[in-house]
Structure 1
Amino acid sequence: MADWYWQSWQGQDFLCCDLLQPWPHGFFTRQFWPQTPETLTASLSANAAVQRVKQVHGNRVLAPADLPAAAAEGPMAEADGLLSDCAHQALWVCSADCSPVLIGDRATGQVAAVHAGWRGTAQTIVPVAVGKLQAQGSRLEDLVVAIGPAIAGEVYQVSVDVAAAVGRTVVNDAASDDEAVVRALLQKEHSPLLADDTPGKVRLDVRQANAWQLEQLGLGHDQVAIAPHCTFQEPERFFSYRRTGEKQVQWSGIVSRDLAELP
């Protein structure tokens, strides 16, 4: 099992994962609010170019070449994932209860950062990001993935149709009705779904659903880590939209490296 550890910057701690040790990276807490990636990147790298998008709960994943020039006027590109196309790019996503997912390629040094809420997960945004990495030369066996702090399944109550939308990405019989998909998943070991006493409701672990999607792609258990922290249950560390209804976020970022910098 991968180890998670805290690293300090400006008197505050952010979370790191040893799977991603070759890359400067961090899952930041509410203590860093309201700082933005333009400031936070200094905690990871002195010379990395900041890359970010306007998140819209979809499955679009862009490279920096797809983004407007930093000096250009106008809105940011809409997407929920970024992948690097050269070294020293700092890729950032923000989240409150959704899953921040950081991916590294141990052979090329390239990385991806993904915002995976239930909607993005139902649209398989993490496999989309992996596919884009593969399109630029990555191999599945070289990838490592850290899924950061997010709302835990035991406290995330959703409707059956939401659970089924996510569940269809990890079951073979996608043609079944919503109730059948949910019933099938509830019977599986380490399921991303948990039973709920309220009729028409179920508990959903979006982190586990993403881990299942990665496993179905062919990644091994030792290539994927899930942070042992829940945004909803740790108010001293994390914002949670489900808990407070406030639109406040924490940032997660990772910096690409060139081959000479890899261990």
Structure 2
Amino acid sequence: MAEWTGLIASDLIGVPHGFLTGPQSDRAELHRIGGDLPTVLVKQVHSPRAIYVDAPFEAEARPEADALVTDKAGLRLAIVTADCAPVLLADEDAGVVAAAHAGWRGAHGGVIEATLAEMTRLGAKPERIVAAIGPAIAQDSYEVDAGFRDQFTGEDERFFRPGREGHYQFDLDSYVAWRLAMAGVGMTDSLGIDTYANSADFHSYRRATHLGEPTEGRQISAIALPASE
């Protein structure tokens, strides 16, 4: 068997999950997350929309959403990213798991809160939920302009570090962790890995753009709710 090319988070030990690495982020590796389960994917559009799923979608019929939530055993929820933050969540006691795609636009728009609302509807409790933030673009690599900064409030100032004239360095990882904390999540683990700086292991949309390379590459993150024995 090939060596596992993925990462796991300490606070999700016991829940099948993983953040795939490697330049290909091969979908064949998904079987290592929960075994031989159907994988559920959606059409990600940088929205705040979180949806309940109880079965996979046909590729041509995937709904537009940026978070998936389920309480149905035997499913693997997956999202794809290339600088945005992948967030995997679980309330083991309630038997509810979720996967969210949290770029700045989705996080700012409320995708974290929408995901938690859907989990809560299914019986999860925020204080019992554990979350893991996977590899994403780090503050040192994430330069934004004043127009970007102006879309945030004064309360968000802590997530912006002054950069070159008229620009800032945005801390997406910390911003997503803060949104999780403000929503009442009991525990959050951030892997703290910069997709932009780690070209051997991760796709980065911004890095590819800067280098004039193809930008289609993505890595996959997934979490599973195994079928009961």
Residue 197 in 1 paired to residue 186 in 2? Answer: no
Name stretches of at least 5 consecutive residues in structure 1 with no aligned partner: 1-8, 169-180
Whether contact under 8 Å (1:154, 1:194) holds in the other structure is: no
Deviations 1:100-137 (A, max 9, x none): 00001131221100111111011110111011101111
Letter in 2 for 1:107: D
SS state of the match for residue 30, structure 1?
coil
Which residue of the partner structure matches residue 254 of structure 1?
Answer: 223
Whether contact under 8 Å (1:30, 1:249) holds in the other structure is: no
Whether contact under 8 Å (1:88, 1:257) holds in the other structure is: yes
Match of 2:184 among 218, 229, 237: 218
Q: 1:161 to 1:257 in 2, by over 3 A?
A: farther
Residue 54 in 1 paired to residue 18 in 2? Answer: no
Q: Distance in 2 between matches of 1:44 and 1:133?
A: 21
CA-CA distance at 1:26 after TM superposition? 0.5
Which residue of the partner structure matches residue 117 of structure 1?
Answer: 103
CA-CA distance at 1:53 after TM superposition? 0.5
Which residue of the partner structure matches residue 212 of structure 2?
Answer: none
Whether contact under 8 Å (1:87, 1:110) holds in the other structure is: no
Q: 1:13 to 1:40 in 2, by over 3 A?
A: closer
CA-CA distance at 1:44 after TM superposition? 1.4
CA-CA distance at 1:163 after TM superposition? 2.9
Residue 237 in 1 paired to residue 217 in 2? Answer: no
Q: Distance in 2 between matches of 1:24 and 1:32?
A: 21
Cα RMSD (Å) of the superposition? 2.1
Q: Distance in 1 between matches of 2:103 and 2:72?
A: 27
Letter in 2 for 1:14: G
Deviations 1:183-217 (A, max 9, x none): x644xxxx322111221x21111111111111212
Q: Distance in 2 between matches of 1:247 and 1:253?
A: 19
**Where does 1:170-185 land on structure 2 (aligned, <5 Å)?**
181=154, 185=156
Residue 11 in 1 paired to residue 3 in 2? Answer: yes
Residue 26 in 1 paired to residue 15 in 2? Answer: no
Q: Distance in 1 between matches of 2:150 and 2:183?
A: 20
Q: Distance in 1 between matches of 2:130 and 2:65?
A: 22
Letter in 2 for 1:233: A
Match of 1:133 among 119, 123, 128: 119
Q: Distance in 1 between matches of 2:138 and 2:171?
A: 6
Q: TM-score, normalised by structure 1?
A: 0.78
CA-CA distance at 1:65 after TM superposition? 4.0
SS state of the match for residue 74, structure 1?
helix
Q: 1:127 to 1:96 in 2, by over 3 A?
A: same
Whether contact under 8 Å (2:51, 2:69) holds in the other structure is: yes
Whether contact under 8 Å (2:43, 2:64) holds in the other structure is: yes
Deviations 1:135-160 (A, max 9, x none): 11111111000000000012201123
Whether contact under 8 Å (2:54, 2:70) holds in the other structure is: no
CA-CA distance at 1:45 after TM superposition? 2.2
Whether contact under 8 Å (2:48, 2:106) holds in the other structure is: yes
Paired residues in the alignment total: 224
Whether contact under 8 Å (1:93, 1:113) holds in the other structure is: yes
Q: 1:197 to 1:15 in 2, by over 3 A?
A: same
